[in-house]
Chain A
Amino acid sequence: MNFEAILEHHLLDHAYLPLFKTGGVTLSLTKHLVMMWIVGGIALILLSVAARSRSQAGLLLRTAIEAMVLYIRDTVLRPIFGHATERYLPYFLTLFFFILIANLAGLVPYGSTVTGNISVTFALAGCTFMLIQVAGIREQGLVHYIQHFVPSGLPAWLVPLIALIEIMGLFAKCIALCIRLFANMIAGHIVSLAFLSLIFVFGQMSPYVGLGVAPAAVGLALFVYALDVLVSFLQAYIFTTLTALFVGAAVHPH
């Protein structure tokens, strides 16, 4: 058996058909794009229903979502943004729930993990990068933002060096965001697949050995799956919190 082919089939994106083609860029309809739209649709329906529903079941959903919303607002954003919290709240809430639902959708059979695709996490980190600039310029003003890009009170000859380091740090932060989410989400799936592949690896030696290994392999895969549920929440929270921290640092430079 070819483990690499299995991983490629399960973890990589597959283009179904190219939609537009301009220059060197092809905007194709792919597996992950479809999944991402499904995730967006689920988020839209779930959150809209939760926001409006007055029924018993809707109330349950609403309570769960409200708890997360309040946590993000009061514990994550409020200490960083203070009075400006309401302005940035929709972005961060959308970020959190988009990542969370995408992570969890990857754990559903026939689903695929959108956030386990580096293009997606790169794009999300790119949005964070853009938000850092936009929020920094909006709250401080362009001149002030550029002035405070380098900490004040430095010797003049150090300024270019520190500016370079700051710019690299800014990119490093966003690339770290991108890699962290991607690696965390794909790692669980790789490990799950590896455990399940063990059954077939041993099964090639003898069907009985394969059967003997199966319970342990399935148990471990199940454990990793459960861990993945935890990691889904954790990574959504971490991505949101770190984005908030970076944006907050740009909004209040001191």
Chain B
Amino acid sequence: MDKLLNPDTGLIIWTIVTFLALVFILKKMAWGPLLAAIEEREGRIKADLDAAESARAQAERLKQELDSQMNALEARSRERLAEAAREGDALRAKLKTAAEDDARKIREKTMSELDEEKQRLVKELRQEVASLSVMAAEKLIRKSVDDSVQKDVLESFFSDLERQGKHN
């Protein structure tokens, strides 16, 4: 059994020759085509992956773009709504003040008209009273008093009346 552990030079040389020959032959015959096929497939897979990745990135970008557009739209519409509300408020306030103004003016005008009317009525009434008084006094004192006296008396009477009216 010593032979089991004794290397045989001839077989060593044969093995080296055979093995190295196999390395070169297999490199040409097997590994070249096999590895080329594997590499081609890997390249294809990688290209597919890259394409998918870029498509995904593009979709992502598009989504972001749309999102931002959407957000901008939303913000703008909110702004518009707020503006409209503000404008409405302003308009309402303006209308309200205008209405109040109008109402006040109308009231004032009415008051002044009423006042005028009152003044006129008072004046008319006074004249009426005066003429009635004059007529009554005429009738009473026609014969005894002449026109000038009559007039003096009446003047003083009316001025008294006026003073009294102012007092009141």
Contact = CB atoms under 8 A, between A and B. Distances in A.
A12 interface: yes
Interface in A68-112: 69-70, 86, 89-91, 93-95, 97-98
Nearest to B35: A89
B7 A118 contact: yes
Given A13-B11, A32-B11, A36-B14, A90 B27 contact: yes
Nearest to A178: B7
A197 B19 CA distance: 34
B18 interface: yes
Interface stretch (A48-56, A204-212, A220-228, A241-249): A48-56
Given A33-B11, A48-B29, A94-B27, A123 B16 contact: yes
Contacts of A119: 7-9, 11-12, 15
A171 interface: no
Given A89-B31, A127-B19, A122 B12 contact: yes
A90 B8 contact: no
A28 B4 contact: no
Interface residues of B, number: 33
B43 interface: no
Contacts of B35: 69, 86, 89
B25 interface: yes
Given A8-B3, A47-B34, A93-B31, A25 B10 contact: yes
Interface in A13-70: 13, 24-28, 30, 32-33, 36-37, 40, 43-44, 47-48, 50-52, 62, 65-66, 69-70
Contacts of B7: 118-119, 122
Contacts of A12: 3-4
B30 A50 contact: yes
A120 B9 contact: no
Interface string B150-162: 0000000000000
Nearest to B20: A127
Interface of A: 4, 7-8, 11-13, 24-28, 30, 32-33, 36-37, 40, 43-44, 47-48, 50-52, 62, 65-66, 69-70, 86, 89-91, 93-95, 97-98, 117-120, 122-124, 126-127, 186
Nearest to A11: B4
4 closest cross-chain pairs (CB), A and B: A123-B15, A47-B30, A119-B11, A51-B34
- Please report whether the interface of chain A is mostly helix, strand, loop or mixed according to DSSP: helix
Interface string B61-94: 0000000000000000000000000000000000
B39 to A, nearest CB: 9
Nearest to A179: B5
B47 interface: no
Contacts of A52: 33
A112 B1 CA distance: 17
Contacts of B8: 13, 30, 119
A51 B23 contact: no
B119 to A, nearest CB: 116
Contacts of A86: 35
Contacts of B34: 47, 50-51, 62, 65-66, 69
B24 to A, nearest CB: 9
B11 A30 contact: yes
Interface in B97-133: none
A118 B35 CA distance: 32
A97 B159 CA distance: 148
A44 B19 contact: no
B37 interface: yes
